[in-house]
A and B are shown apart, each in its own frame.
Chain A
């Protein structure tokens, strides 16, 4: 079961993400080279980017339930059909909003939602249901906006998949047949949710600064399934669009339900849109089909398009999106084909789904826009973003599927990526030396060869060991750990487990200000909203004065929305040391000179200037594209040309 299963609902609206941006620059973490103008809005490393006073707030705005899909294959779109349609989807009530934060300045591709509450309410505030969205990070970043993000500045979209727990059914829930069916279907009082954010505004345009569009769907959850991705089959884009230097329709989840004779494809995260609010401005003839022959094409500039002969596929049907420019917002981009013929279903059981369009350059042929993963194979890590202290360990859960079914005995190899070099100060890196990632290698311990069990699941124990400031002025280290099955589908590539391993630090029972000042000054530098409006984190007297509220915030559980620091980047020992100081603020300097006889910091094993791997280079470019420091995207006017 998943967000694609029936009964499911679709909601659409806006999200507010007031992320802070001073911390988008690694060099801004260096207290010794920090300058006040790094807190001012403006592009370039010597400024604070587009939202230096961000407070990390994430919230739903203007979101409403658009339609529901029932197990019998019908779709309802009117409140006269079900009371839940048209109702507001809103965030927390009586507690702070959720938060959106990156893992680390060296790992900005996995922006995570923390502590987000989702409620569906009638106009008078009466509740249908509410619950808590389990922490989840971006996956599947992809190109969305054909206008290149001209107005908003960010043409990419992504997905957050998660589960909703602590579900409470409100007084109106009984009045919704849909909710009754959902409640009866789902397990463990948990729901599956997927949300596709796109159209985010870095720019103060259209009255939408710090807003983006979000399309969500909520369906039943079954125990034992992954929490942060759907146990679904996947389509990968293989049509190269030159202006985008890549593909559209890059990744889409889909579900085949043989008993219901149905296929449901979710284009909510991938359907190209004209603008930041999700308008569709083309009417290309797009069809779904099952390929009778294996498709292995991978998009490239050299071979931008792959073709298929009509004899080689079984057509399922055309995507009927053309009648309404608002189709995506209304339907969530999920298309379901019911009552499939047995032959089609049978073919789908071990053949690839394809998204095709009639070719103009090769009449009679069809161009393949997207194809299913080779051999229908999907293997992903579930809890792939980790924060670890030394001495802590965690089981990373992997799930493998073939043609949508759990795949036993799938071998998965897991490898720490090579170290990246330090970057010395230069005209391109004007503020401070930036240190590399993925070293020292002995910071993490794991078994790099695992195999799935009869249920298609494998676990890998990942343990953190003591490391000693490999990045000097930023706590801990970022490790990218690539995993792959025996064959890699290059249309999607590989994915990674990404770990922030905190520095070894011995808790100080009776700290003086000098023991915590570097940490607090760094927070003060990076989060001006705190020092400007709440308390000057760099001023021990001010901290002492506000110690009660600070003790409150620093002693919250990490899954509490009021947890400090909001970035969740402090080790337990450092956090406890701060708490120890707040409980007994000693402002006078230390009597004895602090022993600097700490362990020697691990040297970067690679020299500055060492070439990055292709993947690391692409990653750096992608970070720039995602965090607003990419110089400019171009518009796509050739989406379906030359096919």
Chain B
């Protein structure tokens, strides 16, 4: 069962001042970001024009992780803190654990798309407090444990308790974007704004306790991944115990249309002076550019967000080209994007 190290929840619950929540919200920003490279790597491994549902579902989840990262950073700013995004320790080492001991040792790597990865990694990351079980597994009583959702709930509870109605942060630092609906990404000015925003993170990730849908009537991440794992759409089914079942249309999957990425490709694995290394450097240069651009965005220049959207396209295009490149010296493999924190240097 996926767990968060309970000390983070205790820290939140024992906070006596808003400042004590800053490191936890920084952790939250890091956590939301940390899921994006694994998801994107799997998505980039899908050959262009193929496995379209897989691509679409992962893409929709990545977009929401970006939203959650933005919300967490907005809350941190709203409480008077400063998100830090442009430092080396912001980026996890893959394969490795996610921030805050998520998953009780769950090791997350950067791998090609497979139903195994969906089941054993992605669904683990997104697993709700009480996953609703649809039609195949019995509804056994769940032991109590702490989830990401509970972590956010603890923060939410403390904000409710400690914060003034009008939050102390510089309102000019709030980031919004035309790429997200205004009822999902809104400026956090008040305590109620912060509470509402945290609910969005929890529900999009986990669903509500009674439905796989979030408030926007979209499937929570866990269930979207479960659709991919089962190869079936989760649809309303009055005959099923929870009102839903995996009885919708089949989701076709063509394993041949996945690039065989070498798992957890690193820059250091590529030959010095090779075209492949140059392409990888180009990728990580974009990644660094993106992180530093986001740092600037969340530290007083919210208008920079549009520019970072452009960097995301640079990053995506380079990654897709990498995924198609044969791995030098590793027959049968292509190169995965390494998502390493590398400051571009001169010669």
Residues on A lying within 8 angstroms of B by beta carbon are 11-14, 16, 53, 55, 57, 59, 61-65, 86-97, 121, 123-125, 204, 206-209, 211, 529, 532-534, 548-549, 552, 561-562
Contact = CB atoms under 8 A, between A and B. Distances in A.
B346 A96 contact: no
Q: Among the interface residues B48, B277, B297, B304, which one has the most CB atoms of the partner chain A within 10 A?
A: B48
B292 interface: yes
Contact of B278 (A125, A207, A533): A207
Interface string B279-293: 001100110111011
Contact of A96 (B294, B297, B314): B314
Interface in B310-347: 310-311, 313-314, 316-317, 320-321, 343-347
A557 to B, nearest CB: 12
A123 B345 CA distance: 6
Q: Among the interface residues B178, B285, B286, B320, which one has the most CB atoms of the partner chain A within 10 A?
A: B285
Given A64-B347, A95-B289, 15 more contacts: A53-B321, A65-B346, A94-B293, A94-B304, A95-B304, A123-B343, A123-B345, A209-B275, A211-B278, A529-B317, A532-B48, A532-B320, A534-B317, A548-B178, A562-B309
B56 to A, nearest CB: 10
B257 interface: no
B321 A16 contact: no
B49 interface: yes
Contacts of A86: 346
B273 interface: yes
B293 A88 contact: no
Interface in B80-126: 86
18 contacts: A11-B346, A13-B347, A14-B347, A61-B344, A86-B346, A88-B344, A88-B345, A92-B289, A93-B293, A94-B297, A95-B293, A95-B310, A95-B311, A96-B307, A96-B311, A97-B286, A207-B274, A209-B278
Q: Is the interface of B mostly helix, strand, loop or mixed?
A: helix
B257 to A, nearest CB: 14
B308 interface: yes
A75 B324 CA distance: 47
A57 B344 contact: no
B170 to A, nearest CB: 20
Contacts of A55: 314, 317
A55 B314 CA distance: 9
B19 interface: no
B277 to A, nearest CB: 7
- Interface size bucket, B side? 35 or more
A270 B317 CA distance: 35
A207 B277 contact: yes
Nearest to A536: B49
A14 B282 CA distance: 12
Given A94-B308, A96-B310, A206 B273 contact: yes
B306 interface: yes
A94 B296 CA distance: 8
A533 B48 CA distance: 6
A59 B278 contact: no
A204 B326 CA distance: 14
Contacts of B311: 94-96
B288 A93 contact: yes
A257 B271 CA distance: 48
Nearest to B180: A548
Nearest to B346: A64
B346 A94 contact: no
The 10 A-B residue pairs whose C-beta atoms are closest, nearest first, are: A94-B293, A64-B346, A88-B346, A95-B307, A96-B310, A62-B347, A562-B310, A207-B274, A207-B273, A125-B343
Contact of B310 (A16, A91, A208, A561): A561
Given A53-B321, A87-B346, A96 B275 contact: no
Given A55-B317, A94-B296, A61 B289 contact: no
Contacts of A561: 307, 310
A55 B317 CA distance: 8
Contacts of B281: 61
Contacts of B320: 532-533
Contact of A548 (B179, B290, B295, B307): B179
Nearest to A88: B346
Contacts of A121: 343-344
A97 B347 CA distance: 19
Contacts of B282: 16, 57, 59, 61
A332 to B, nearest CB: 14
A446 B221 CA distance: 62
Contacts of B48: 532-533
Interface string B177-197: 011000000000000000000
B274 A93 contact: no
Contacts of B288: 93
